[in-house]
A and B are shown apart, each in its own frame.
Chain A
């Protein structure tokens, strides 16, 4: 689903999403070198920012990079130009999901299962999030079964959902009345 061209995405990232800060990037690589998942990313942050400047937005939004970002803030703490790398990763995640660029990655499925649980109950219960994710990734879910058994023995496996007083109000509270542009 490619609704927009690369230029439009770049403009969106730069103008609406505070992406202009990457113009300060000196390509020192401190972020990539500090990143716990730098080696697993298609393009670690330094390289990603150069791709954005080059206008390669489709490559950027399809890459696994934002999904490997675990929000550890190590890069942000160390970046000599004080670029809010982690926050920019959030922006890219949001842009990728909302414009259909993320279907080949696993993490967005976990995110979806998590957020659906929150919208339904107001709180998160691990087993429900895993169940929602496991439908799409049965191998991962099966791999987690021995652990589930260990947790049950220790009375740590919750089956019943934790919830707020009026869970039915959570979804409308979060979603109703907000004009959502497809882009944002």
Chain B
């Protein structure tokens, strides 16, 4: 299975997202080809500064994707996913906008005719990879480890095509498929504060504590996220909590790697701020 991959700017320096994604994809036979010369999607920032520039940034990405032959675009970042998906829709619906963008793209030898579909890597893992690949691939027995899935706010909103916007379950499905024990909790789609953690640290800190509290209450051993920014905020945002009360925050790709028996060193687990190491021992 080959996909066009949009890594996004936060992918490389995140806590092992890149390492674990690559290792797991290799193991299950997914080929992620980065969109050549991809640029930043503009995130929510450009939409709030200049809508035209925001459309141009995403337009360039769709054009580069089209040049390689219109495979689905897959990304592992919620903000990239929502931004790209938003413009996928806008560009499809608004011919005048498409024309304006094409006019500018032409100056770089690019253009858009047919717009690729944007998907999240989690969607590919759950809906394209057969269940058996995960189930038969299990090497580590992890059924005693309780994992709280954290979706963050943007994956399922606003329209909720992928899973229910308020009570999604796609991540829990995946956690079970890997053999971990999913826990149900009340903070699945609560916002982590995203980049507000920089200028509004105190206010964002409250959100993060609320999320961790909600997951801890259900006696989870780990949190699992599907977005580099969520992972960063939840991992870093627990620094004020007592050591015993902190939960390691792993990417869903790292959970997958652990289940598939991929060595920890290939999953970038040493890059987490709150270490995972103790959990396996503690639960055995």
B113 at interface, CB cutoff 8 A: no
Q: Which residues of chain A are near B47, meaning CB under 8 Å?
A: 71, 90
Nearest chain A CB to B111 CB, angstrom units: 14
With A93-B48, A93-B49 already in contact, the answer to whether A158 and B13 are too (CB < 8 A) is: yes
Closest 5 CB pairs of A and B: A93-B48, A72-B153, A106-B199, A73-B157, A124-B9
For chains A and B in complex, what number of residue pairs have CB atoms within 8 angstroms?
143
Per a CB cutoff under 8 Å, which of B104, B198, B201, B203 touches A177?
A: B104
B193 touches A115 (CB 8 A): no
Per a CB cutoff under 8 Å, which of A73, A143, A144 touches B158?
A: A73
- What separation, in Å, do the CA atoms of A90 and B14 have in the docked complex? 28
Nearest chain B CB to A67 CB, angstrom units: 8
Q: Which residues of chain A are near B53, meaning CB under 8 Å?
A: 115, 174-175
Q: Which residues of chain B are near A158, meaning CB under 8 Å?
A: 12-13
> Beyond A36-B190, A72-B154, A114-B43: 11 further Cβ-contacts under 8 Å?
A70-B153, A73-B153, A76-B157, A77-B160, A90-B44, A94-B48, A110-B199, A115-B46, A118-B39, A156-B15, A158-B13
B157 touches A74 (CB 8 A): yes
Q: Which residues of chain A are near B13, meaning CB under 8 Å?
A: 126, 151, 156-158
B42 at interface, CB cutoff 8 A: yes
- What separation, in Å, do the CA atoms of A114 and B198 have in the docked complex? 12
A68 touches B196 (CB 8 A): yes
Nearest chain A CB to B17 CB, angstrom units: 11
- What separation, in Å, do the CA atoms of A80 and B48 have in the docked complex? 24
A154 at interface, CB cutoff 8 A: yes
Per a CB cutoff under 8 Å, which of B51, B166, B193 touches A77?
A: B166
With A74-B191, A157-B13 already in contact, the answer to whether A169 and B108 are too (CB < 8 A) is: yes
With A73-B157, A73-B158, A158-B13 already in contact, the answer to whether A110 and B194 are too (CB < 8 A) is: no
Nearest chain A CB to B161 CB, angstrom units: 12
B107 at interface, CB cutoff 8 A: yes
